[in-house]
Amino acid sequence: MATIEPSQRSPGGEPRAAVLTAAPSPKLEVRGLDVFYRGEKGGETHALQDVTVDVFPREVLALIGPSGCGKSTFLRVLNRMNDTIPGARVAGKVLLEGEDILAKDYDVVTLRRRVGMVFQRPQPFPKSIFDNVAYGLRAHGLADKREITRRVEQALGRAALWDEVKDRLDAAALGLSGGQAQRLCIARALAVEPEVLLLDEPTSAPDPIATAKLEELIAELKADLTIVIVTHSMQQAARVSQRTAFFYMGRLIEVGATKQMFTRPRETRTEDYITGRFG
Amino acid sequence: MRDASLVAATAIASAIVVGMLLVILLDVVRSGASVISGTFLTAAPSGGMQAGGVGPAIFGTAALTILMTVAVVPVGVITAIWLSEYARPDSRLARAVRLAVANLAGVPSIVFGLFGLGFFVQTIGRGLDKAAYGGVATYGKPGLIWAALTLALLTMPVVIVATEEALRAVPRDLRDASLALGATKFQTTFQVVVPQAMGGILTSAILAVSRGAGEVAPILFTGAAYFLVELPTHLNDQFMNLGYHVYVLATQSPDVDKTRPQLYGTVLVLLVLTFLLNVVAVVIRIRTRKALASARA
Ligand SMILES: Nc1ncnc2c1ncn2[C@@H]1O[C@H](COP(=O)(O)OP(=O)(O)OP(=O)(O)O)[C@@H](O)[C@H]1O
Ligand SMILES: [Mg+2]
């Protein structure tokens, strides 16, 4: 397995030492991560094998790879959502600013306030549009109504949903279309202002305008937060990310600067996947 | 070919069921409708049960059903929430509770009546009297509250099972979405899971009402009265009940033939009342559903 840490890459042909001193300390450090799921017939699925990778502050890391390779699994580990899957087992280390988030006594509620996540399938709550977005804020104990309203409106605006829902904030969120629901979930996650945002195929609904807006948003957000995004679209990975990680059958095959990954990947499997996609 | 015969068999079976229901309904309506009047609905029985009406029995039945619902729904729903959301599937306590619920559902209703007499009336009620009323029989006798609690016990399994089913139908992804926002388990349960399952929870209440409203055996020894002119005004008062009144009219009257119109009238009222209670519950359920999905329109 070849993982390329930023200290090893040399963007623009700079001398290695210069990159080393310039490299900030990672936001997230994943070390030798293994994930097992309980299988159908008592066995275990080894969904992730020995994954080691860093995520740096204010960068967008794209995760690509064929269906079932473990991208969602990787994402879920980063805010301990695998805790909710009966029989799922995680080994290895994941550090958030140096702290081991996999530790048994680590407070997952606080972790999830810092590391937000938008799932592959949108799940609007059985509440109004406004209350959906306000949900996290209220859950965190924010009671100031004006502040809640301000942050809800801001989040809906950033998620490019404001114009479509501003006249029906009190309507039930279950009435939104698939793409709108997806953006609602993004707004919901943004409202609580996490430090890290995990996006699992946030633009799976085929809506080119919303997709463009979301990509704009990602570019804007990375000014102050760290983003890990799963995408099936090579073009999207190329557009939004600084680095790309390629997963294949539970292994991290290669991670590196996005430009380099798409022009001259080190691994033939990466190349096959990328070129296969581009046709 | 086999499909066709299956369809035919199903159609015949359904026709038989619907047909029987219609025959019963028609029979009740035909024989009972003639005695229904304002007086019948409000007055107490008189003239050796051959005249007057069923007013006190209607009031008693409604009060009993409402009290029962107030008692059974919160307890049943909380138990179901605990079973489905908090108890570990392999926990001994959870298994014991499930076993108890399953067994409770199979107990004949007369046994509930005897249990209510022994437990509520004679143990709790007399205990209360000793502790708070200087031994004067106040709660240590059959009364509305004990009958309602006995019925609540009878309908508890219905509420628990139906509510738990509704909670289990809430997708894990929805719970995850809430947890991923940094909500606690408690917030997730009560602000996302329970609202999502509200339709099913209300259905469980409907089922409890349908089951409980017509039961006679559990209230025989715990509070129902053979004949009362006064309406119950306190929780420990005895009360008349439509189901029990039907039984009384059918078996205890000096002249069964002469009380027959009254009997059918009472049955009709009982049917309509149960139906109305169900309608109310269904309307509440549809309302909540609409409130949840109003944007669909
Ligand atoms: N809850 C689960 N229980 C058992 N196995 C699971 C579970 N979730 C995922 N898996 C298995 O783990 C492997 C990785 O799944 P994962 O969802 O991470 O893939 P993915 O890369 O996100 O795929 P996709 O692109 O289709 O979303 C797959 O083989 C999948 O079947
Ligand atoms: Mg996935």
A6 pLDDT more than 70: no
pLDDT at A131: 96
Strand partners, A257: A243
Q: Return the pLDDT at B15.
A: 95
Mean pLDDT, range A251-270, rounded to an integer: 91
Instruction: Report the distance separating Cα A113 and Cα A111, nearest Å.
Output: 5
The answer to whether position A199 is within a domain reads yes
Determine, yes or no, domain membership for A10.
no
**Residue whose CA is at the smallest distance from ligand 1 atom 6:** A37
Q: Which domain holds residue A168?
A: 27-274
How many contacts does A have with B, using Cβ atoms within 8 A? Answer: 88
User: What is the C-alpha separation between B56 and A177, in angstroms, rounded?
Assistant: 54
Whether B284 has a pLDDT exceeding 60, the answer reads yes
Residue contact A121–B173, C-beta within 8 A: yes
Q: Name the band, by pLDDT with cuts 50, 70 and 90, for residue B105.
A: confident
Ligand closest in space to the Cα of A77: 1
| Residue A48 alpha carbon to ligand 1 centre in Å | 10
Q: Per-residue confidence at A278, pLDDT binned at 50, 70, 90? A: very low
| Cα gap B51→B138, rounded to integer Å | 33
Tell me if A221 is assigned to some domain: yes
B150 pLDDT exceeds 80?
yes
ipTM of the shown complex:
0.86
- In a domain, residue A260? The reply is yes
Q: Residue A11: is its pLDDT beyond 60?
A: no
State whether B195 and A127 contact (CB < 8 Å).
yes
B198: chain A residues, CB-CB within 8 Å: 126
Which CATH superfamily does the domain covering B36-296 fall into?
MetI-like (1.10.3720.10)
Number of domains within chain A: 1
Range scoring the smallest mean pLDDT among A21-35, A123-137, B153-167, B175-189: A21-35
Closest CA to ligand 1's atom 18: A70
Residue A10 confidence (pLDDT)? 43
Which has the higher per-residue pLDDT, B77 or B250? B77
- Residue A7 covered by a domain: no
* CB contact A91 to B (< 8 Å): no
CB contacts under 8 A, A 232-251 vs B, are none
What residue has token string 């991290």? A252
pLDDT band at residue A70 using 50, 70 and 90 as cut-offs: very high
Q: How many H helices and E strands in chain A?
A: 11, 10
pLDDT in tens, A112-145: 999 999 998 899 999 999 999 999 999 999 999 9
Per-residue confidence band for B294, with pLDDT thresholds at 50, 70 and 90: very low
A175–B195 CB contact, under 8 Å: no
User: Does the structure show a pLDDT above 90 at A95?
Assistant: yes
pLDDT of res. B183? 95
φ, ψ of residue A267 in degrees (nearest 5): -100, 140
In-domain check, residue A94: yes
Confidence bin at A4 (pLDDT 50/70/90): very low
Residue pair A258/A241 in contact (Cβ under 8 Å)? The answer is yes
Q: Which residue has the tokens 């009238």?
A: B265
Closest C-alpha residue for ligand 1 atom 9: A73
A149-183, pLDDT tens digit by residue? 999 999 999 888 999 999 999 998 988 988 889 89
pLDDT at B281 over 80: no
Burial (CB count within 10 angstroms: exposed 0-12, middle 13-18, buried 19+), residue B64: buried
Looking at the complex, does the CB of residue B90 fall below 8 Å from at least one CB of chain A? no
CA of A4 to the centre of ligand 2 (A): 23
**Ligand 1 surroundings by CB, under 6 angstroms:** A 37, 45, 47, 65, 67-73, 85, 120
CATH of the domain at A228: 3.40.50.300
Q: What H or E segment, with its residue span, contains residue A256?
A: strand A251-257
Give the other-Cβ count within 10 Å of B102's Cβ.
Answer: 12
State residue A202's pLDDT score.
86
Q: Note the pLDDT of residue A151.
A: 96
pLDDT of residue A44: 86
Is B296 near chain A, with CB under 8 Å? yes
Q: Kindly tell me if the per-residue pLDDT of B201 is higher than 60.
A: yes
- Domain assignment present for residue A19? The answer is no
Q: Do A113 and B182 touch (CB under 8 A)?
A: yes
User: Which residue is closest in CA terms to ligand 1's atom 22?
Assistant: A72
Is the model more confident about A190 or about A278? A190
Report the C-alpha gap between A71 and A250 in whole angstroms.
8
